[in-house]
Every structure is written in structure tokens, then in C-alpha cells.
């Protein structure tokens, strides 16, 4: 295996190699929590590999979402193919996903290099515009879940089972003082800025569509505003996002609820029961 590359080209299954050039040169890309990710240096493609039945199925879900959204006016990668290698004889199930590669790098990296509030605000204004494009796109029938309940009800059910008491208290307050339901729209479902790609002075696309489907658009908005950098987003940056998005903001408690809902969706359970919002 090449140094520091999580996917050995020699280990790529024959079915996947059919989608790739004869010579395969790869470098490591930013890896997510469920997959190893490499990009080809000699072709505008990305390869993801996930190990284990659940994570492999996640790649299959992402491929189906990209297929359902293909041809829409959305800045998304083109799906090339997905291949599942069943486990057995001591081997784990593997999933392989190949998509086109969007030009640029993570908006998180670009944002962290921005030296002025004005530059950071410009990026978030563009992000607001892209988020609005996603939320105004019609929902493909292929992405509608079998569960007939509203998206928020499924989130609340999961949150009620959380082992951390402060999350259960937050859910109780949310149930008691719930804001009016937002209209159901297409949502990305994982719209953190490390899943947004930027090049030059524009946003070129959004990746990792495995959570896409009908949902509460305020969830995407919350994640977009949950910058992973230690620096808090300046008020001017937040205002610029909503200027691009075309709305006036979210109450703090609602944003807190969706942030914690994201933690649950990511299965971020470290066994701790401390309330991070407690003073």
C-alpha cells in the first residue's frame, strides 16, 4: 500500500476497477466517520470504501440518493457506481462507491484561512444561497422513507432514548415549547461545512448525500452554522448566511435541539452525562 493512503489500489475489486482508468493513482482525501476516501490524481473521480454491513449499506444509500437527484439543478457529484462485497470466512462486508470529484477543497479549510470578517461573511452568504437551492428542490419519490411519520417525530423518538439525561430534558422542553413545524423540504441531512466544496471564490458543490430526503430545513441550517472551528461565527457571518438563505434566523433553543439531534444521528455516545450547556 502507498504510504498514508487508506485504500490500496491493488485491493480494489475487479467490478470497481471497470469504472476506473487502467492506471490508478490515488491520494488520501478527507475521510469521514464511516468510510475511507481517496481521490484519483489521473481522473476526476473519488473512491469511498466502507467496512461492515451497516457502513457498506450507507454507501449504497448515498449512491441511490445521488442517482435520484441526478440531473437536478444541484451542485452534486455524479454517481458512477456502487459495489458491495459480501462478508464471509472471517471477512467483513465491504462497500465501494465511486463518484465524480468536484473541483476545490473543503469549505471548512477555506473558511479557516479567511483573514477578515468580510471574507468569512462572503463565504457564508454563498453557503446560504446553496442551502436555499437544496431546500427549494422537489423531493424525489425514491428518497421518501417508508415510515409515514414526520421527520421531526422520528428524530424525537430517537432523542427520547438517549442515555444522557440533559438530552432528554432538552427533548421535553422542545415538546412543551415546540416552535411551529416547518414545511417539509428536501434536506441534505449532514450539511456541515466540511461537506461543502469551494474553489476560487465560489462553492462548487456539496458531498456526502447519504442522509438526503424529506426533512426539516432548519436542521440543515443549524448544521451549516455549526462551524467546527473553535472560533465562534461572528454575528456578521451568521447574518450573511441568512441574507443568502432568505430568512431571519433561528431561535437559540431550536438550534441547540438540532445540534444535539445531529450528535445522536452520528451515534456520538461517549457515555458522559454532563450537560455541555450548563454553566
Q: Any idea where the domains of the chain sit in the sequence?
A: 9-100, 105-265
What was the pLDDT predicted at 160?
76
Poorest-pLDDT segment among 1-5, 107-111, 251-255: 1-5
Helix 252-265 vs helix 151-160: angle between axes, to the nearest 10 degrees?
A: 70
Q: Reply yes or no on whether the pLDDT at 279 is more than 50.
A: no
CATH entry, 9-100, from 3.30.200.20, 2.60.120.200, 3.30.70.1450, 3.40.640.10: 3.30.200.20
Helix 252-265 vs helix 165-176: angle between axes, to the nearest 10 degrees?
A: 130
Q: Reply yes or no on whether the pLDDT at 165 is more than 50.
A: yes
Q: CATH number of the domain at 105-265, please? A: 3.90.1200.10
Cα 273 from chain centroid (whole Å): 26
What is the rounded average pLDDT of the residues 88-113? 90
Amino acid at each position: 500500500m502507498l504510504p498514508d493512503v487508506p485504500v490500496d489500489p491493488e485491493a480494489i475489486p475487479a467490478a470497481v476497477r471497470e469504472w476506473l482508468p487502467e492506471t490508478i493513482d490515488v491520494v488520501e482525501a478527507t475521510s469521514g466517520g464511516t468510510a475511507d476516501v481517496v481521490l484519483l490524481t489521473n481522473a476526476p473521480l473519488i473512491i469511498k470504501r466502507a467496512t461492515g454491513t451497516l457502513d457498506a449499506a450507507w454507501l449504497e444509500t448515498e449512491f441511490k440518493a445521488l442517482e435520484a437527484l441526478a440531473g437536478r439543478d444541484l451542485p452534486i457529484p455524479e454517481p458512477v457506481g456502487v459495489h458491495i462485497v459480501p462478508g464471509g470466512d472471517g471477512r467483513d462486508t465491504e462497500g465501494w462507491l465511486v463518484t465524480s470529484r468536484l473541483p476545490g477543497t473543503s469549505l471548512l479549510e477555506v473558511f479557516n484561512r479567511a483573514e477578515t470578517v468580510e471574507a468569512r461573511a462572503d463565504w457564508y452568504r454563498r453557503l446560504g444561497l446553496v442551502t436555499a437551492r437544496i431546500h427549494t428542490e422537489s423531493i424525489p419519490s425514491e428518497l421518501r422513507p417508508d415510515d409515514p411519520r414526520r421527520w421531526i417525530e422520528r428524530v424525537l423518538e430517537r432523542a427520547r432514548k438517549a442515555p444522557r439525561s440533559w438530552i432528554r430534558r432538552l427533548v421535553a422542553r422542545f415538546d412543551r415549547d415546540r416552535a411551529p413545524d416547518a414545511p417539509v423540504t428536501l434536506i441534505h441531512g449532514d450539511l456541515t461545512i466540511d461537506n461543502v466544496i469551494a474553489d476560487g471564490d465560489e462553492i462548487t458543490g456539496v458531498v456526502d448525500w447519504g442522509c438526503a430526503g424529506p426533512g426539516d430545513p432548519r436542521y440543515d441550517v443549524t448544521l451549516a452554522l455549526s462551524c467546527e472551528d473553535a472560533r465562534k461565527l461572528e454575528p456578521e457571518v451568521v447574518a450573511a448566511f441568512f441574507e443568502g438563505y432568505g430568512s431571519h434566523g433561528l431561535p437559540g433553543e431550536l438550534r441547540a435541539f438540532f445540534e444535539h439531534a445531529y450528535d445522536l444521528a452520528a451515534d456520538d455516545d461517549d457515555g458522559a452525562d454532563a450537560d455541555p450547556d450548563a454553566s
